[in-house]
Amino acid sequence: MAKVVIIDDESSILELMSKLCKSVGHQVVPCLTGAEGLTAVRNHHPELVIVDLRIGDVSGLDIVKTCREESPDSAVIMVTGHGSVETAVEAMRLGAFDYLTKPFDLGDLIKTVNHALARRGQPGSPAPATQPSLRSGSASKLIGHSEAIQKIFELVRRVADSESPILIEGEFGVGKHMVARAVHEASRRNAAPFKELQCSALPEDVLEAELFGSGGAGIFQRAGGGTVHLAEVHQLPARIQAQLNTFLDEVQNKRGTWAGNGAAAPSFRLITSTTIPLDDAASSGRFREDLYYKISVVPVKIPSLRQRREDIRPLVEHFLRDLAERSEQPAKAIDAYALEFLEKYAWPGNISELRNAVERACALCEGDRIRPSDLPSKVSQQIEVPSPASGGSKIQLPIGSPLDDFIRAQERLFIQETLKYNNGSREKTASMLSISIATLYRKMGLNVERKTNA
């Protein structure tokens, strides 16, 4: 198998990538610093280099340049965050084969490694045909019991092995990425990479290079027989829409003239997604009508979460299990009242907002159970309770909060008003309330060591 140099200054990610590459038989040289990585490249002349874009001592781009100059037969895969995609595209202009954005799917890492090794030293050659692999189900990562989501499960199963382009429509956060991924995983192309591009995230020139290649292969060639998902496709500039329209015509006709070197047309399954009704945009002239018809052969519309509230409970349970696995701790339970709040909330951000709320609740809750008070205030309804102090002040608590929370809030307000009456004297306040000074400090959330004489 291949010799692979992996360079990443995060030890946990370095270990994970190293174990994964070793598990499929590659010889791995792990490096925690850029300087160590450069030395490994010069000494070993590996078939493949995987390098993080941001390393403390050396830029990942410098390592790409070194590989091009001193080890030109080494394929390079850049690893980067979502906010650095533009720089990753620049790395490809310098000679990198492909890039992965964190957090990446482990399966995508191996598929990209295999594809890079297959294409090493043959930048113009088509990728080897992928063989069908074992498929576990039509939509194993889609979660929900509603009739609407069950229809999407069935549609994924029926169209997975079709070559027809799919257009997924739905509000922000409804799970368009997951449906696109499910189609790929259920298809015969699932042994090849799943490539995704946010069309709204890049300047026009960088977007053009990423789609069609500039000094390197575009995303369609790098898919290597897999699936390309163009998210927020309605954000494509008019000029890029025209190029994509021509490109798809050329692929369909197997002309391959965009490459300029006689290369065969790339093989890929195209999936696009949008947050707006694309037919309306095409009718109004904001999106090319001929391109719309090319990419929308199979339309899929995902309903919002507020239209399928019966899916909220299984989604919450899934998120709790997933968060527990990531933290390597037992899964937290959720209070029935807290779950009721989640099921009643409108979720304008859909599944993305729900996951954020569950993750926040897991981080804030005390013990092993999420309560209404752990949820975002906009999710948990608030009630106003008059305080026992004078002046008509009130406190707000989520419905379903434990009685102890109410009592603690009442105590704190009463102590604050008593302190005001005693001109801030803590000793007088403690005496008037028949509690010790230590108890006063504890109920006020203060440290005893901070006590000063009144």
Euclidean distance between CA atoms 156 and 143, whole angstroms: 13
> Does 311 have pLDDT greater than 70?
yes
> Does 43 have pLDDT greater than 80?
yes
Q: Is the dihedral of CA 416, 421, 424, 429 positive or negative?
A: negative
Q: Which fold has domain 382-450?
A: Arc Repressor Mutant, subunit A (1.10.10)
CATH 1.10.10 positions along the chain are 382-450
Provide the b/e sequence for 380-405 (b: ≥16 CB within 10 Å).
beeeeeebebeeeeebebbebbeeeb
What is the token pair recorded at 330?
């037992």
CB-CB contact of 331 with 364 (8 Å): no
- Average pLDDT estimate for 269-288: 95
Could you tell me which residues come within 8 angstroms of residue 22 by beta carbon, excluding any fewer than 6 positions away? 28
Give residue 449's pLDDT. Answer: 52
Query: CATH number of 306-374: 3.30.230.70, 1.10.8.60, 3.40.50.2300, 3.30.1380.20?
Result: 1.10.8.60
> Does 316 have pLDDT greater than 80?
yes
> Does 266 have pLDDT greater than 80?
yes
* CATH class as words, domain 3-119: alpha beta
Cα→Cα distances 243→207, 240, 399, Å: 11, 5, 55
> Does 221 have pLDDT greater than 90?
no
Give residue 136's pLDDT. Answer: 40
Give residue 129's pLDDT. Answer: 40
Peptide bond preceding 103: is omega within 30 degrees of 0, i.e. cis?
A: yes
Q: Please give the residue that has the higher pLDDT: either 232 or 448.
A: 232
Q: Could you name the CATH architecture of 147-301?
A: 3-Layer(aba) Sandwich (3.40)
> Does 166 have pLDDT greater than 60?
yes
CB-CB contact of 278 with 296 (8 Å): yes
Write out pLDDT tens, residues 104-157.
Answer: 888 888 888 988 888 765 443 344 444 434 344 334 467 888 999 999 999 998
